[in-house]
Amino acid sequence: MLTCESDKLSGYEIFRKADISGKTALIISTWFGVGLFPEAPGTLGTIAAIPFIILLDFAGKWYSTFFLIFLAAVGIWAAGRSQDLLGRKDPKEVVVDEVAGIFLTMCLLQVSWLTLALGFAFFRIFDILKPYPIKRIEKFRGGFGIVMDDLFAGLYAFVAVKIVLYFI
């Protein structure tokens, strides 16, 4: 269950007491509740982004690019607001950053089952390991740091997938 360490409120209580912008931020930042799963919320958030990636791929790269910019901006706001509500730095329940990161990876690639699998694997590796400068970016305050480190992990994953595709 989602709890706030500062006063041990449950996620339901935090959500119930939040104003409309707080409720909206919590819904977006947890990617409609996916981040509330107790095991591997980041991985599940990444998986939950895949249907949107496929859907927007059919719409075209311009729509995907616009959605990515919109998602990053809204994600920064929602992650920062949710962090304040939950009373913790970079709460594990906030997975909109993973959604934005994998979306960036796939927005730059031709979507196929192979690129989805490679993009997912490399994104999760870079998101977990946080090679330079991702670890530094993560230290930025608020939602900006939460989302930007995953966008950089998404860029690294894109480059890794392109390298693999070059050799196969």
**Tens-place pLDDT, residues 58-68:** 998 899 999 99
Q: Please give the pLDDT value at position 104.
A: 97
Considering only 4-18, 27-41, 82-96, which range has the smallest mean pLDDT? Answer: 4-18
Q: Residue 15 — very low, low, confident or very high, per pLDDT cuts 50/70/90? A: confident
The overall average pLDDT reported for the chain is: 92
Tokens of 118: 């490679």
Q: Please give the pLDDT value at position 7.
A: 44
Q: Please give the pLDDT value at position 159.
A: 98
Which segments of 7-132 does DSSP mark as H helices, in order?
A: 11-17, 20-29, 41-59, 61-86, 96-107, 113-129
Q: Residue 9 — very low, low, confident or very high, per pLDDT cuts 50/70/90? A: low
Tokens of 9: 């409120």
Tokens of 46: 């990444």
Tokens of 60: 């075209």
Instruction: Using a pLDDT cut of 70, give the percent of the chain over it.
Output: 93
Mean pLDDT over 24-31 rounds to: 96
What pLDDT, in 10s, does the model give residues 68-97?
Answer: 999 999 999 999 999 999 999 989 999 999
Q: Cα separation of 102 and 117, whole Å?
A: 11
User: Counting beta carbons within 10 angstroms of the beta carbon of residue 31, is it exposed (0 to 12), middle (13 to 18) or buried (19 or more)?
Assistant: buried
Q: Where are the domains of the chain?
A: 6-167
Instruction: Using a pLDDT cut of 90, give the percent of the chain over it.
Output: 81
Q: Do 100 and 154 meet the contact criterion of CB atoms below 8 Å apart?
A: yes
User: Counting beta carbons within 10 angstroms of the beta carbon of residue 63, is it exposed (0 to 12), middle (13 to 18) or buried (19 or more)?
Assistant: middle
Residue 4 DSSP symbol: E
Residue 127: how many CA atoms within 13 Å on its side-chain side? 29
User: Counting beta carbons within 10 angstroms of the beta carbon of residue 87, is it exposed (0 to 12), middle (13 to 18) or buried (19 or more)?
Assistant: middle
